[in-house]
A and B are shown apart, each in its own frame.
Chain A
């Protein structure tokens, strides 16, 4: 079965502290994984995708097929990073996305 697990509902850190948002997946085949972010009162938007191997707003995520994980990391959190973060898996030929339940990141001043 295709599934995405985000074990933390809430992650609270202080400004300047490192951040790691956990994501594990279950997928038979070669997975395509993404992180989406939803800032307060804004719509859901793509943050980064594993294929691009990019860093966006200081965030990176590495696909670890052995551990079936795609954790999102940032070395120094900023207050503007406070948002809801969803890990997502592309499922099947239609490009539909399978989302995790999300982690609310709260960066305290």
Chain B
């Protein structure tokens, strides 16, 4: 079956531009995560959704970062007024168990590589 998909795969933005990154989770997965992976680093948690509810946004680095999942499926990560330090790969992952119950595997998308010039 289809895995997690992300679009675009690559995005080049000029500093100060707004960008929107899309994630299509595996159908039926209630949990959705966004991670940021800078060059040479491991992924770092940004935010978590359970269906349409954003239950944890403790990893968002600033108020320029905003995520939504209005219908509990597709999610969008928006970055306003991009800065060079936002350059990274943004990963989306989904899983099919409620948070707090038995952990279920997170399935990762291919990522969106954002380059801010």
Contacts and interface: CB of A to CB of B under 8 A. Distances in A.
Interface of A: 4, 6, 9, 32, 43-46, 49, 51, 86, 88, 90-102
A44 B33 contact: no
For chain B, what secondary structure do more than half of its interface residues adopt (helix, strand, loop), or is it mixed? loop
A25 to B, nearest CB: 13
Contact of A94 (B3, B48, B105, B111): B48
Nearest to A4: B42
B103 A43 contact: no
A45 B106 CA distance: 8
A69 B109 CA distance: 28
A43 B100 contact: no
A31 to B, nearest CB: 12
Best-buried of A6, A90, A95, A99 by chain B (most CB within 10 Å): A95
Contacts of B100: 93-95
A46 B105 contact: yes
Contacts of A98: 45
Contact of A96 (B42, B48, B104, B111): B48
Given A95-B31, A101-B41, A45 B48 contact: no
Contact of B40 (A32, A49, A101): A101
B56 A96 contact: yes
19 contacts: A32-B103, A46-B105, A51-B103, A90-B103, A91-B45, A92-B56, A93-B100, A94-B55, A94-B100, A95-B31, A95-B48, A95-B95, A95-B97, A95-B104, A96-B45, A96-B59, A97-B43, A100-B42, A102-B41
Contacts of A97: 33, 35, 43, 45, 106
Nearest to A49: B103
